[in-house]
């Protein structure tokens, strides 16, 4: 399939009349990212193929004309049908990205749906295909702070220890045993023997030392966790000791996170290749797709699926997998499932910009304006949030009658306040709700949409927004998730708060993470939460409900959400 031709037709569709359209060559130069000379050559090739008639404009800068030989909708339907017959998922995905009416795909929705979920290749390989609504931002474990990327990293590598969410205890990982000194200043890990990396070499203590020292460097999202490391000593091939300046009871939790996945010391890290010890390894990685294949030499149990494919379809309107209103039966391919309280959504203020958000009365006005009961009811967002953890949240009454008085006390003069939001459908709805609600009280909100792929790891949030609507999906280690929420340099507390606020936050977080007692840490957590919310440094909004369509043959462990299914043990029952 010549995608450039369909790009051209989609680009000119809105100005096309009776299969006739006018354009300038400079437009195609930008669309196709090639020279004007190359654009002319390509158009003449299409003319020779009988697809169109090309009438060049007379003189520099004048409009040229194209007369297409067939209706665009018929061409799209024909090429989609051909791609479906040939199981050419790449071509289908490319066409789905075009800015064309999604109704053109209605007749083949079922067939497109069938290309996802569980598939079996001609050589009897079990394949599981996912849909991603955006490209992957970064799979560098020292950069990623996004849940989807963290989920992928978990499939590719392993950590020294594993956190058990049910018991709040640590279990053996790549280290089969570990020993901790009484003062928590020395952690010694005893490594499994015979663990192979994807490139074939056996893991040693030198790989652990390399991973920890690399992660300790400035700029790493976990450098805050490792700042007390004095030395990492390779006692022998399979024993490594970590010496800390200050005893850290929480250090074992740090080495159980995907950000500290053990990497080989003899290879520079490359996202496109991603060499580690995990049950899957990367076969292909591009903006359009990520394909994982099983690592046959994995030290643990072999995954039951042979290949996992993640395909990017950024269209928010297209229901590639569709549900029905009728009850689920064995004949259905997909069933809609829900998971409650998947993380927390909040609004946070940017103290790096010198404006009215610095004023406590203004922030209190926003607190009363953001009525989570109204918001969650009108947008079907989930459970009302007042804390980071769903089980600790409750409904706090809002007093909208205070809003105008608080805005007046803050000396609000009608200036625009920039609200940052991601550029996907659900985020747009929430941002628009806030804007509409604010206008009822004379507050002027300007929405600034940002793409997570382009802006998450840059300074765009800090530079362009006064406050931001954001969500956080914690890892299974909930205590560490909250500490990460507060201390991770890529997340918004560290990016938006002033030096004075951060100094106080860091003190409180230090007190929590250095306490060896779980119950006492929970008390310190509550103190941090009260301080954050009483000062309205951020406003919690909801614990969202996520829904998804799950292939009926996929076996899920302990009700796990399919989007974050444990791919190491997932399997699908064959339809005989």
What is the per-residue pLDDT across 122-172, written as a single tens digit (0 to 9) for each?
Answer: 777 888 877 777 778 788 888 876 677 888 888 999 999 998 877 878 999
Could you tell me which of 509, 538, 533, 530 has the C-alpha nearest to residue 521?
Answer: 509
CB within 8 Å of 214: residues ≥ 6 apart:
142, 220, 263, 269
Q: Would the pLDDT of 113 be above 80?
A: no
Q: Would the pLDDT of 562 be above 80?
A: no
CB within 8 Å of 228: residues ≥ 6 apart:
244, 245, 246, 248
Distances (CA, A) of 444 to 39, 328, 440: 45, 46, 10
The Cα–Cα gap between 63 and 25 comes to: 8
| Averaged pLDDT, 99-103 | 82
With beta carbons less than 8 A apart as the criterion, state whether 92 and 309 touch: no
| Averaged pLDDT, 419-436 | 88
Weakest mean pLDDT among 106-120, 169-183, 245-259, 390-404 = 106-120
| DSSP state letter for 446 | E
| Averaged pLDDT, 370-384 | 85
Read out DSSP for 478-497?
HHHHHHHHHH-TTSHHHHHS
With beta carbons less than 8 A apart as the criterion, state whether 417 and 411 touch: no
φ and ψ at residue 357, rounded to 5 degrees = -65, -15
166, exposed or middle or buried, with CB in 10 Å at 0-12, 13-18, 19+? exposed
Read out DSSP for 92-145?
HHHHHTSSS-GGGGGGGHHHHHTTSEEEE-TT--EEEEEEESS------TTT--
The Cα–Cα gap between 129 and 310 comes to: 6
Please count the residues of the chain.
576
The pLDDT of residue 60: 67
With beta carbons less than 8 A apart as the criterion, state whether 351 and 498 touch: yes
380, exposed or middle or buried, with CB in 10 Å at 0-12, 13-18, 19+? exposed
With beta carbons less than 8 A apart as the criterion, state whether 261 and 270 touch: no
φ and ψ at residue 84, rounded to 5 degrees = -65, -40
**CATH class of the structural domain 344-543:** alpha beta
Greatest Cα-to-Cα distance within the chain, rounded to the nearest angstrom: 85
The pLDDT of residue 559: 44
Could you tell me which of 551, 506, 544 has the C-alpha nearest to residue 227?
Answer: 506
| Beta-ladder partners of 338 | 547
| Averaged pLDDT, 308-318 | 68
Could you tell me which of 568, 562, 490, 500 has the C-alpha nearest to residue 531?
Answer: 500
| Averaged pLDDT, 282-288 | 87
Weakest mean pLDDT among 16-30, 121-135, 235-249, 287-301 = 121-135
The pLDDT of residue 351: 96
**What are the b/e assignments for 294-306, b being 16+ CB within 10 Å?**
bbeebbeeebebb
Q: Which has the higher per-residue pLDDT, 332 or 468?
A: 468
CATH superfamily label, 128-138+278-336+547-572: Periplasmic binding protein-like II (3.40.190.10)
| Averaged pLDDT, 460-488 | 86
| Beta-ladder partners of 290 | 285, 310
With beta carbons less than 8 A apart as the criterion, state whether 552 and 328 touch: yes
| Averaged pLDDT, 206-228 | 91
| Beta-ladder partners of 132 | 312
Q: Would the pLDDT of 59 be above 80?
A: no
- Whether pTM exceeds 0.85: no
Q: Give me the helix-helix angle, 478-487 and 518-534, nearest 10°.
A: 40
Q: Would the pLDDT of 553 be above 50?
A: no
β-strand 307-312 against 126-132: which pairing, if any?
parallel
With beta carbons less than 8 A apart as the criterion, state whether 426 and 470 touch: no
| Averaged pLDDT, 478-506 | 91
CA angle 529, 534, 540 (to 5 degrees): 60
**Share above pLDDT 70 across residues of the chain, in percent, rounded to a whole number:** 86
| Averaged pLDDT, 315-319 | 47
- Torsion, Cα 497 538 446 356, to 10 degrees, reads -60
Instruction: Check the CA dihedral 268-271-273-277 and report its sign.
Output: positive
| Position 115 confidence tier, pLDDT thresholds 50, 70, 90 | low
| Averaged pLDDT, 558-569 | 55
The Cα–Cα gap between 239 and 204 comes to: 8
CATH code of 1-69, in short, is: 1.10.10
Helix (H, G, I), strand (E, B) or coil at 521: helix
| Averaged pLDDT, 102-125 | 71
| Position 554 confidence tier, pLDDT thresholds 50, 70, 90 | very low
Give domain limits for the chain: 1-69, 128-138+278-336+547-572, 158-267, 344-543
**Share above pLDDT 90 across residues of the chain, in percent, rounded to a whole number:** 52
The Cα–Cα gap between 544 and 64 comes to: 51
The Cα–Cα gap between 468 and 497 comes to: 12
Q: Would the pLDDT of 338 be above 50?
A: no
Helix (H, G, I), strand (E, B) or coil at 397: coil
The pLDDT of residue 220: 85
Assigned architecture for domain 158-267:
Alpha-Beta Complex (3.90)
Q: Would the pLDDT of 45 be above 50?
A: yes
Distances (CA, A) of 347 to 52, 81, 126, 325, 366: 52, 45, 42, 34, 9
| Position 254 confidence tier, pLDDT thresholds 50, 70, 90 | very high
| DSSP state letter for 203 | P
CB within 8 Å of 364: residues ≥ 6 apart:
402, 406, 536
Could you tell me which of 504, 355, 505, 343 has the C-alpha nearest to residue 418?
Answer: 355
The pLDDT of residue 329: 34
Q: Which has the higher per-residue pLDDT, 187 or 305?
A: 187
């Amino acid at each position: 399939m010549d995608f450039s031709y369909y790009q051209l037709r989609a680009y000119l569709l809105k100005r096309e009349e009776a299969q006739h359209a006018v354009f300038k060559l400079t437009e195609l130069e930008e669309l196709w990212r090639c020279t004007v000379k190359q654009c002319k050559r390509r158009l003449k090739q299409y003319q020779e193929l009988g697809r169109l008639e090309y009438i060049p404009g007379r003189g520099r800068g004048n409009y040229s004309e194209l007369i297409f030989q067939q209706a665009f909708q018929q061409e799209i339907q024909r090429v989609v049908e051909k791609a479906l017959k040939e199981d050419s998922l790449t071509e289908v995905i490319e066409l789905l990205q075009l800015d064309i009416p999604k109704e053109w795909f209605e007749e083949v929705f079922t067939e497109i749906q069938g290309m996802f979920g569980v598939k079996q290749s001609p050589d009897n390989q079990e394949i599981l295909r996912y849909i991603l609504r955006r490209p992957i931002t970064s799979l560098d474990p020292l950069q990623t702070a996004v849940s989807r990327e963290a989920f992928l990293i978990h499939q590719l590598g392993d950590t020294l220890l594993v956190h058990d969410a049910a018991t709040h205890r640590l279990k053996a990982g790549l280290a089969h045993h570990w020993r901790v000194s009484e003062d928590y200043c020395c952690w010694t890990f005893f490594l499994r023997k015979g663990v192979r990396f994807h490139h074939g070499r056996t893991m040693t203590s030198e790989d652990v030392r390399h991973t920890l020292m690399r992660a300790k460097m400035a700029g790493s999202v976990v450098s805050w966790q490792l700042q007390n490391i004095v030395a990492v000593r390779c006692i022998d091939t399979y024993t490594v000791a970590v010496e800390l300046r200050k005893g850290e009871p929480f250090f074992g939790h740090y080495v159980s996170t995907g950000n500290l996945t053990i990497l080989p010391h003899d290879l520079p890290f490359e996202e496109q290749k991603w060499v580690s010890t995990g049950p899957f390894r990367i076969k292909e990685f591009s903006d359009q797709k990520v394909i994982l294949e099983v690592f046959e030499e994995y030290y643990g149990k072999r995954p039951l699926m042979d290949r996992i494919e993640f395909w990017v379809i950024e269209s928010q309107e297209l229901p590639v997998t569709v549900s029905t209103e009728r009850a689920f039966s064995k004949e259905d391919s997909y069933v809609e499932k829900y998971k409650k309280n998947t993380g927390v959504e909040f609004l946070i203020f940017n103290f790096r910009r010198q404006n009215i958000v610095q004023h406590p009365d203004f922030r209190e006005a926003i607190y009363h304006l953001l009525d989570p009961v109204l918001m969650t009811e009108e947008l079907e967002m989930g459970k009302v949030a007042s804390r980071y953890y769903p089980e600790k949240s409750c409904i706090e009454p809002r007093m909208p009658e205070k809003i105008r008085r608080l805005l007046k006390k803050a000396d609000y003069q009608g200036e625009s306040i920039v609200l940052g939001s991601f550029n996907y459908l659900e985020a747009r709805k929430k941002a628009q709700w806030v804007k509409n609600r604010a206008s009822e009280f004379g507050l002027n909100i300007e929405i600034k949409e940002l793409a997570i792929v382009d802006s998450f790891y840059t300074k765009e949030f800090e530079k362009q927004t006064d406050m931001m609507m954001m969500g956080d999906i914690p890892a299974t280690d909930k205590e560490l998730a909250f500490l990460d929420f507060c201390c991770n340099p890529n997340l918004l507390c560290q990016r938006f708060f002033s030096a004075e606020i951060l100094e106080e936050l860091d003190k409180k977080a230090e007190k929590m993470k250095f306490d060896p007692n779980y119950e006492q840490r929970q008390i310190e957590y509550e103190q941090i939460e009260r301080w954050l919310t009483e000062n309205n440094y951020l406003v919690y909004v909801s614990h969202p409900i996520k829904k998804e369509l799950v292939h009926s043959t996929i076996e899920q462990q302990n009700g796990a959400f399919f989007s974050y299914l444990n791919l190491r043990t997932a399997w699908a029952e064959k339809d005989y």
